C-alpha cells in the first residue's frame, strides 16, 4: 500500500524550515509509512492569509499562539487531546520552556505542539559594549547617546509596549476585559516614548530578522532592548543576546512570548505513523541534537540548559533562559491578530505625534473591545 503523503506549511527563515525539511527528508515511505513535504511563506504571511484558509490547503500548519482563537472559531485544527494521550501532553507540559504549551491551550484544549520557542530578548553588539545593560534606566541613558534601536515594525510596536508593561508588573489582558492595567501602561508609555525619540527612523520598517541582520552587518547600533531572539545570529558573530531589561534589579523580566507550534488541520487524514513523526520532533534527543544542528530553536528546557547546545550557539539559550521562562502570553481570542495590527498602528502614531499615555491607553482599550467577541476567552 502506498504511504500517505502529507503537506505542511512553515515560515521562510532557516529557523522555521531547515529542521522540519531535514526531518522530512529522513522519512522513508516504505520503512516509516509516511511521506512529508514542507512549503514556506514569509514571516508576515501569518497575517496575510487567515488560518482557516491555510488549513484548507495543508495537513500541518506552523502557527503562533495569537492565531488559536481564530483557528477555534474556524474549526480548522484538530486538538491535541484527540491525537495524543493525556499523559503525553502532561509530559510535554512539564518539559517545555515556560508557557510554550500553555500558549496553545484555548477553550479547554491544546491546538499545536510547541516545536519552536522564542520571546523578546536583548540583542547587543559585543564590540560596542563591555556588557549588556540589565535595567531600563541604563537602556535610556545609552539611547541618549544614539546607540539604541527599537523593534516597532508590523505587530512589534504593540508587542514592545506590552513587554515594557510586563516589566512594570502587568500582563496584557490579565483580567480578560482590560487590555492593560493603567498604572503600568502609563509608566511603560513614558519609557517607550523616551526611547523612541532616539531610535533611528531609517530602521523602523525592519522586522526582527531585518534588525538582527542590520546589527550583525553594521556597527551604528549598539543595542536593541527587545527583539525576538534568533539563535542563528548568535554563534561566532558580532551579536550577543541577553535577558530583557528589568525596571528594578529584583523586578520581573518583561517579555511577550513568541515561537511557533505545529497544528494538525481538519483536512489531514491522520495516521499513527504521522503522529510518531510529530512525537519524534518533540523528543528530548531530537530537541537537544537534531533541531539545534539544523538551525532550529527548540522548545524543551533540556535543550536550553544543555552545555553542548549552548557552547555551539554562543550561550544564546543560557543567556536568555530567564526571559523565556517568565514570558507573558498575548491575547488569543478570535480577532486578536486584527487587534494586534490596529494596536501597533496606534502605538506608532502615538509615538510620532507625542500623544499622552491616557489617550493612547483609552484608544487601545477601545480597539481591544472592538476586536474581541463579547465574553470570549483571551
Res 47: pLDDT: 66
pLDDT digits (tens, 9 = 90+) for 297-356: 999 999 999 999 999 999 999 999 999 999 999 999 999 999 999 999 999 999 999 999
Res 43: pLDDT: 74
pLDDT digits (tens, 9 = 90+) for 66-83: 999 999 999 999 999 999
Domain 5-117+258-318 in CATH: superfamily?
Answer: Periplasmic binding protein-like II (3.40.190.10)
Please, what is the angle between helix 336-353 and helix 182-196, to 10°?
Answer: 60
Greatest alpha-carbon span in the chain:
67
Taking the domains of the chain in order of start, what are their residue ranges? 5-117+258-318, 120-256+333-370
SS3 per residue for the chain: CCCCEEEEEEECCHHHHHHHHHHHHCCCHHHHCCEEEEEEECCCHHHHCCHHHHHHHCCEEEECHHHHHHHHHHCCEECHHHCCCHHHHHHHHHHECCCCCHHHEECCEECCEEEECCEEEEEEECCCCCCCCCEHHHHHHHHCCCCECCCCCCCHHHHHHHHHHHHCCCCCCCCCCCCCCHHHHHHHHHHHHHHHCCCCHHHCCCCHHHHHHHHHHCCCCCEEEEEECCHHHCCCCCEEEECCCECCCCCCCCCEECCEEEEEECCCCCCHHHHHHHHHHHCHHHHHHHHHHCCCCCCEHHHHHCHHHHHHCCCHHHHHHHHHHCCECCCCCCCHHHHHHHHHHHHHHHHHHCCCHHHHHHHHHHHHHHCCCCCCCC
* Chain centroid, CA 3 distance in Å: 34
Res 2: pLDDT: 81
C-alpha cell at 205: 520598517
Res 174: pLDDT: 83
| Comparison of pLDDT for 44 and 208, the residue scoring more | 208
Res 175: pLDDT: 83
Q: Per-residue pLDDT for 375 more than 90?
A: no
Beta pairing class for 223-228 and 105-106: unpaired
C-alpha cell at 250: 529584583
pTM: 0.95
Q: Average per-residue pLDDT in the chain?
A: 95
Q: Per-residue pLDDT for 377 more than 90?
A: no
Q: Per-residue pLDDT for 168 more than 80?
A: yes
Res 236: pLDDT: 78
CB count, 10 Å around CB of 25? 11
Check if 5-117+258-318 and 120-256+333-370 are the same fold.
yes
Q: What percent of the chain has pLDDT over 90?
A: 93
User: In whole angstroms, what is the distance from residue 115 CA to residue 296 CA?
Assistant: 9
Question: 120-256+333-370 architecture in CATH?
Answer: 3-Layer(aba) Sandwich (3.40)
pLDDT digits (tens, 9 = 90+) for 84-126: 999 999 999 999 999 999 999 999 999 999 999 999 999 999 9
pLDDT digits (tens, 9 = 90+) for 7-64: 999 999 999 999 999 999 999 999 999 999 999 998 777 666 899 999 999 999 999 9
Q: What are phi and psi of 7, to 5 degrees?
A: -125, 130
Res 3: pLDDT: 83
Unique residue bearing C-alpha cell 534606566: 137
Amino acid at each position: 500500500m502506498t504511504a500517505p503523503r502529507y503537506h505542511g506549511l512553515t515560515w521562510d527563515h532557516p529557523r522555521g524550515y531547515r529542521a522540519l525539511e531535514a526531518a522530512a527528508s529522513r522519512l522513508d515511505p516504505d520503512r516509516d509509512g509516511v511521506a512529508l513535504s514542507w512549503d514556506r511563506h514569509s514571516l508576515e504571511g501569518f497575517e496575510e492569509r487567515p488560518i482557516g484558509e491555510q488549513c484548507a490547503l495543508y495537513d500541518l500548519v506552523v502557527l503562533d499562539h495569537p492565531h488559536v482563537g481564530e483557528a477555534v472559531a474556524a474549526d480548522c485544527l484538530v486538538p491535541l487531546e484527540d491525537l495524543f494521550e493525556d499523559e503525553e501532553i502532561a509530559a510535554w507540559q512539564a518539559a517545555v520552556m515556560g508557557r510554550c504549551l500553555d500558549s496553545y491551550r484555548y477553550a479547554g484544549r491544546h491546538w499545536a505542539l510547541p516545536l519552536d520557542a522564542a520571546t523578546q530578548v536583548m540583542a547587543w553588539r559585543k564590540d560596542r559594549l563591555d556588557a549588556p545593560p540589565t535595567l531600563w534606566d541604563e537602556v535610556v541613558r545609552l539611547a541618549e547617546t544614539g546607540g539604541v534601536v527599537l523593534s516597532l515594525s508590523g505587530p512589534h510596536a504593540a508587542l514592545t509596549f506590552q513587554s515594557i508593561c510586563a516589566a512594570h508588573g502587568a500582563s496584557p489582558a490579565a483580567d480578560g476585559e482590560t487590555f492593560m492595567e493603567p498604572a503600568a501602561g502609563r509608566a511603560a508609555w513614558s519609557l517607550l516614548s523616551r526611547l523612541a525619540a532616539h531610535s533611528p527612523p531609517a530602521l523602523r520598517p525592519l522586522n526582527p530578522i531585518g534588525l538582527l541582520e542590520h546589527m550583525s552587518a553594521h556597527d551604528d547600533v549598539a543595542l536593541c532592548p527587545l527583539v525576538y531572539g534568533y539563535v542563528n545570529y548568535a554563534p561566532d558573530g558580532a551579536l550577543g543576546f541577553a535577558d530583557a531589561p528589568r525596571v528594578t534589579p529584583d523586578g520581573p523580566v518583561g517579555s511577550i512570548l513568541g515561537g511557533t507550534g505545529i497544528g494538525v488541520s481538519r483536512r489531514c487524514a491522520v495516521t499513527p505513523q504521522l503522529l510518531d513523526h510529530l512525537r519524534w520532533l518533540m523528543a528530548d534527543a531530537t530537541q537537544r541534537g537534531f533541531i539545534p544542528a539544523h538551525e532550529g530553536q527548540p522548545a524543551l528546557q533540556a535543550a536550553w540548559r544543555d552545555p553542548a547546545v549552548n557552547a555551539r550557539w554562543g550561550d544564546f539559550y543560557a543567556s536568555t533562559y530567564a526571559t523565556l521562562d517568565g514570558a507573558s502570553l498575548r491575547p488569543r481570542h478570535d480577532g486578536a491578530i486584527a487587534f494586534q495590527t490596529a494596536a501597533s498602528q496606534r502605538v506608532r502614531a502615538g509615538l510620532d505625534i507625542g500623544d499622552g499615555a491616557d489617550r493612547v491607553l483609552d484608544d487601545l482599550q477601545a480597539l481591544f473591545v472592538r476586536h474581541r467577541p463579547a465574553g470570549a476567552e483571551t
